[in-house]
Structures are given as C-alpha cells and as structure tokens.
Amino acid sequence: MLTLNGATGEYRDDFFRNLPNLLKPGDLLILNDSRVIPARLYATRARSSHTQQTSPDPTGRIEVLLTQELAPDEWTALVRPSRKVQPGERLLFHHEDNPVLEAEVTAAAEFGERTLRFAPTPDFLSILNKIGHMPLPPYIHRDDTEQDRDRYQTVYARETRSHEPGSAAAPTAGLHFTPEILEELKRNGIQVETITLHVGLGTFQPVRAERLEDIHLHAEHYTLSATTAEAINTALKEGRRIIAAGTTTTRTLEHCAHLANTDPFEPHTGLRLHPHSGSTSIFISPGHQFRVVKGLLTNFHLPQSTLLMLVSAFAGREAVLAAYAHAVRERYRFFSYGDCMLLL
C-alpha cells in the first residue's frame, strides 16, 4: 500500500495490514457492502416459427453483462457482439440445454449497451445464480470458477435479498480487508459503518468525451441507512475524519452531501445527511469541494479514467501523478486485484 499526504504531497511505501495503525481513534471508516452477482450470461438469438415456437439461432453465442436493474424484469446490459443484437431481437438463456430465461432487446445505445426486458419469472436471481458467471475483469484471461464467487467479493458484502439488484463489478478497494483487520480497526477505536452502491457502468466506463463538461456517467443505485447517516452526522459535528473505502463509497457520500439539507442548528458543519435510497451519476473531477470524505482508500486506476480524476480531485493532480510515477517504478500492481493507496 502506498500512502499519500494530499496536503504535503509526501508519499511512503507501507502495507495494508498496517491500516489500523495508520488511521486514528475516532475516525469513521465507511465501506460499500454491495454484493457482486453472477452478472455475465451467455445467450443465443431466438428464432420464431409460424407457430410462435422458439429455437436457438446456431450462428453464435452472445455475451451479456447485466449492469443495472431499471425496473422489475428490465436491465441495461453490455452485449457482445453488439451488431448482431438490435431492438426487437429476443435472446434465450439456457441451463443444461433448456431455455430458462428469455429477454427482448427494447433499446440500443452506443458501445454495445442494450436494454433488455426479461419475461417475468418469480425466481430471477436464483436462475441467475445457476446460469450466470462472475463478471471478472476483462484482463483476467480465464473462465470464472466456483471459487471466484467468494474471491471476487468483499468479506463484508451482505447477502442480496429476493429481487434486489447487486453489483456488476466488485468495489475493489474492499477486497483488501479481512475479518481480522476489521476487528483490529474496531479495537483501535475506529468506527466502521457501511453504505450500499451497486456498481455498474457509472463506475467503470472509460472516458470517451473530449471535454470534462461532456462526461456523463450512468446512474447507479445506492442506499444510505439511518445508522450510517447518524454516524456521519455525529462525526461531522465532532470534527472527526470520515474515511471512504473506495471510489464507489466516495461518490455515494458526496452525492448524499449534495442532496443534504443545511441545518441552521448545526452552524459548524451546515450539513446533515438523511437516510434514503436513490441513484447517483455524480462525476467528481478536480475542483470538487469534498464535504464529507476526508480520507480515501482506493486501488490504482488507469490513465484517462473517471476514477483517476476523482483521486486527483481529492489529493491534487500533481501529487497523485508523482505518487503514481513512484508506484510504477516500484512495480505496484494496478487493477482490481492490485495494490492500494491511502490518501489522507
């Protein structure tokens, strides 16, 4: 783990296992407890006969990555090869050679994004658990295994309930935590709470716009619980640091701060968060004034990504680029299963 002091630009090599000693008693650490679902599916195009029966089209397999639930039975997805899958097409998803799900493509967007309307089924998530694959990052060149259902998951991910969406990618800063480190954090006087943001395209889509003002992220669902909202409000009132584990947590907290009502009876903060659920497409770039997050734990991100822009907004572009140059020289690992960085 690389630590970076945003105020001075000083960076230092360290280890994640030392996190409980790098944070201070009284700090509030916020984690994203969303669970990754087996969101990668494989389908065939359906063909209709005159009797309205369907059979699979043998022309090839279609890869479908579910990215966000829009409404019951309706999802956005990334589809490959997308040129074959246009509005009006129907897709069949099989289990042991039997079709168990069917979806109609209702809309098409750029870069392979499609909207799918699934035929209603009372046990969609249980079927997904049978036929779906864990959405491992594309640079992992192997099929997913049963072990990946645990390994590509934070240790604190909560179980999804029936008809509740999950994430299409792991909140990767959380992959570093173990139950032992969480217990040590609490023993050291660090408060640990959670929010939920279901990771979708808003988090990992690449930057394709030329100008910052033209960047628009996809919305992602989140929940701020009453317990966490109260913990944040108390920490703000008492002047304690709030540390976000991951960019997904950061975006959720800053979005909630943007929505928060100013409380005239809290003049020292002017900010009070309220429990609620919603969606956020917040894009954080240099110039953003952080109202909640005072520390950030995150993995290393690719150049020209919205995630690197968020990190640069938090600690300053020059300081972040200098720290990244050091990380490259010292052969830090990037990507989801890579090393991490603590910015304070």
pLDDT band (50, 70, 90) for residue 58: low
- Taken in order of first residue, the domains within the chain and their CATH numbers are 2-36+165-343 (3.40.1780.10), 40-132 (2.40.10.240)
What pLDDT, on the 0 to 100 scale, is given for residue 19? 98
Residue 167's Cα: distance from chain center in Å? 6
List of residues 6+ apart from 135 with CB closer than 8 A: 36, 38, 39, 40, 65, 152, 168, 169
The mean pLDDT of the chain is 89
Q: What is the pTM of this model?
A: 0.90
pLDDT band (50, 70, 90) for residue 265: low
Mean pLDDT across 162-172: 82
